[in-house]
Amino acid sequence: MSEGISQADRPQALEGDDRDLFSKFDDVIQTRETLLASGVEDPFSLVMEQVLSPTRAICNGRDTILLGTYNYMGMTFDPDVIEAGKQALDNYGSGTTGSRVLNGTYRGHKDVEQALREFYAMDHAMVFSTGYQANLGIISTIAGKGDYIVLDIDSHASIWDGCALGNAEVVPFKHNDIVAMDKRLGRIPEGAGKLVVLEGVYSMLGDVAPLTEMVAVAKKHGAMVLVDEAHSMGFIGEHGRGVAEAQGVIDDVDFIIGTFSKSVGTVGGFCVSNHPKFEILRLVCRPYVFTASLPPSVVATACTSIRKLMHGSNKRAHLWENSKRLHGGLKALGFTLGTDEPQSAIVAVIMPDLEHGAAMWEALLHEGLYVNLARPPATPAGMTLLRCSLCAEHSSEEVETILGMFERAGKAVGIIGA
Ligand SMILES: Cc1ncc(COP(=O)(O)O)c(C=O)c1O
């Protein structure tokens, strides 16, 4: 006889006062059902059936321009990157089946950490299995009981979850508000450990943090500073090191968090630092220790990609041109954008509400354009927006085509005047 639970032993549907643990999701279920009842394609169930290049794919059966990926530098189809991955698969197999601190450190993990040290010109680099885990691990490990984390209220979910996993006091301040941040830091008891957590580019609106001022304020209060440069690595700054480099404060930043899932074009996360005791984190950081390391093919592709990004200044210049043209063109068409000026590779188009956002998203898809539909809790202030993220591989002609698609879809849905 099977040792599984028999039908008779299985829990029955809950009745009466018993609380269904899933009742907390009822609002989300209702919103989704209402949206789908209106007849739109589900914006959160898109399938890329075939990926043709960093900027084109067959999505839900249509040839589509991709304007909603994080593939800022277009590295996913770079021939050297692909070749490095294939060789690593052949030489090292498909996975490590172990933690970095046991059997999961291969030559490739050391190589990619060396590439990161050189990319950022920093002493230490530690690679995690995702950027999410890098924030989770670093923040929860360095800010513990009795310490204070002061962070921007619009921080990424992985930063908030890193705070939740640790036991530090968490003190948010209004988005990009230097005075509010200064005040919060000023109220922290004397002698407490302080960590300020900021992002270079905030990924929903595509706006940049005033790091020059914020890092100075943090240092005035004796706080350590962590900057998540997930959306700026490879693109912003002379060497592509991010907003801290572009604003001239990288030497005062204690920890930079980054990801391989955007400009690098694969998956993985990391932290780089000059802190003299940094290496101890390899033994005490639970999201580093208690999970399997990245597959050899992934670290090999990341390593090759990072080394190529060191020489990516032409691509960076073209991506800036794309960002400026798309931003200027959408603004001229009458769309409301997340920033007055282009500040990054992200151009956010603000929608009046979810219904219009979903209708516009679908109209663009029918035109042959994919963008991200973003809504709370990912977005700030309850906004619905269409997030456009440009790629260095979008041609100037493609950007013009995209503007034409936005114009037709915007008029059809009534977002801009006909
Ligand atoms: C600011 C920021 N940090 C961290 C992450 C997590 O990166 P990953 O995809 O590598 O988990 C993201 C992902 O979107 C992000 O936007």
Percent of the chain residues past pLDDT 90, beyond the cut: 88
Element (H, E) at 84: helix 79-92
As a whole number of angstroms, the distance between CA 67 and CA 189 comes to: 46
- Top mutation candidate among 76, 135, 156 for ligand 1, by most atoms within 8 Å of CB: 156
Residue nearest (by alpha carbon) to ligand 1 atom 10: 131
Q: Which of 108, 106, 125 is nearest to 116 (CA)?
A: 125
Q: Are 370 and 57 in contact (CB under 8 A)?
A: yes
Whole-number pLDDT of residue 14:
56
Sheet holding 255-259, edge to edge: 124-128, 269-273, 255-259, 224-228, 194-199, 148-152, 169-173
Name the β-bridge partners of 124.
273
Whole-number pLDDT of residue 1:
35
286: pLDDT strictly greater than 50: yes
Whole-number pLDDT of residue 2:
38
Which residue did the predictor score with more confidence, 12 or 53? 53
Does ligand 1 lie within 6 Å of residue 172's CB atom? no
Does ligand 1 lie within 6 Å of residue 131's CB atom? yes
380 Cα–ligand 1 center, Å:
16
Does ligand 1 lie within 6 Å of residue 362's CB atom? no
Whole-number pLDDT of residue 6:
44
- Structure tokens given for 113: 């950490």
Q: What is the DSSP string of 327-367?
A: HHHHHHHT--BSSSS--SSEEEEEESSHHHHHHHHHHHHHH
Q: Are 382 and 154 in contact (CB under 8 A)?
A: no
For range 359-382, the mean pLDDT: 93
231 Cα–ligand 1 center, Å:
8
Residue nearest (by alpha carbon) to ligand 1 atom 7: 131
Does ligand 1 lie within 6 Å of residue 265's CB atom? no
Question: pLDDT digit string (tens) for 113-161?
Answer: 999 999 999 999 999 999 999 999 999 999 999 999 999 999 999 999 9
Does ligand 1 lie within 6 Å of residue 156's CB atom? yes
Does ligand 1 lie within 6 Å of residue 111's CB atom? no
Question: pLDDT digit string (tens) for 332-356?
Answer: 999 999 999 999 999 999 999 999 9
Which residue did the predictor score with more confidence, 331 or 7? 331
68 Cα–ligand 1 center, Å:
15
168 half-sphere exposure, CB direction, 13 A CA radius: 28
Per the prediction, the chain carries an average pLDDT of 94
Nearest atom in ligand 1 to 201's CA:
1
318: pLDDT strictly greater than 50: yes
156 Cα–ligand 1 center, Å:
7
Question: pLDDT digit string (tens) for 226-260?
Answer: 999 999 999 999 999 999 999 999 999 999 999 99
For range 327-332, the mean pLDDT: 98
Does ligand 1 lie within 6 Å of residue 199's CB atom? yes
Residue nearest (by alpha carbon) to ligand 1 atom 8: 131
For range 82-86, the mean pLDDT: 98
9: pLDDT strictly greater than 90: no
Does ligand 1 lie within 6 Å of residue 301's CB atom? no
Whole-number pLDDT of residue 418:
79
- Top mutation candidate among 205, 236, 261 for ligand 1, by most atoms within 8 Å of CB: 261
137 Cα–ligand 1 center, Å:
13
5: pLDDT strictly greater than 50: no
Does ligand 1 lie within 6 Å of residue 152's CB atom? no
Give Cβ neighbours of residue 101 (< 8 Å, ≥ 6 apart): 282, 283, 288, 289
Residue nearest (by alpha carbon) to ligand 1 atom 3: 230
As a whole number of angstroms, the distance between CA 145 and CA 166 comes to: 7
Nearest atom in ligand 1 to 202's CA:
1
Does ligand 1 lie within 6 Å of residue 69's CB atom? no
Q: Are 391 and 263 in contact (CB under 8 A)?
A: no
Nearest atom in ligand 1 to 199's CA:
1
Give Cβ neighbours of residue 106 (< 8 Å, ≥ 6 apart): 92, 96, 293, 296, 299
Distance set, CA 341 to CA 81, 213, 344, 400 (Å): 33, 20, 9, 19
Whole-number pLDDT of residue 41:
83
208 Cα–ligand 1 center, Å:
16
Whole-number pLDDT of residue 43:
82
For range 346-368, the mean pLDDT: 95
Nearest atom in ligand 1 to 260's CA:
10
Does ligand 1 lie within 6 Å of residue 344's CB atom? no
323: pLDDT strictly greater than 50: yes
262: pLDDT strictly greater than 50: yes
Nearest atom in ligand 1 to 155's CA:
1
Which residue did the predictor score with more confidence, 66 or 375? 66
Percent of the chain residues past pLDDT 70, beyond the cut: 96
- Top mutation candidate among 133, 158, 160 for ligand 1, by most atoms within 8 Å of CB: 158
Whole-number pLDDT of residue 159:
98
- Structure tokens given for 204: 């929903």
Whole-number pLDDT of residue 141:
98
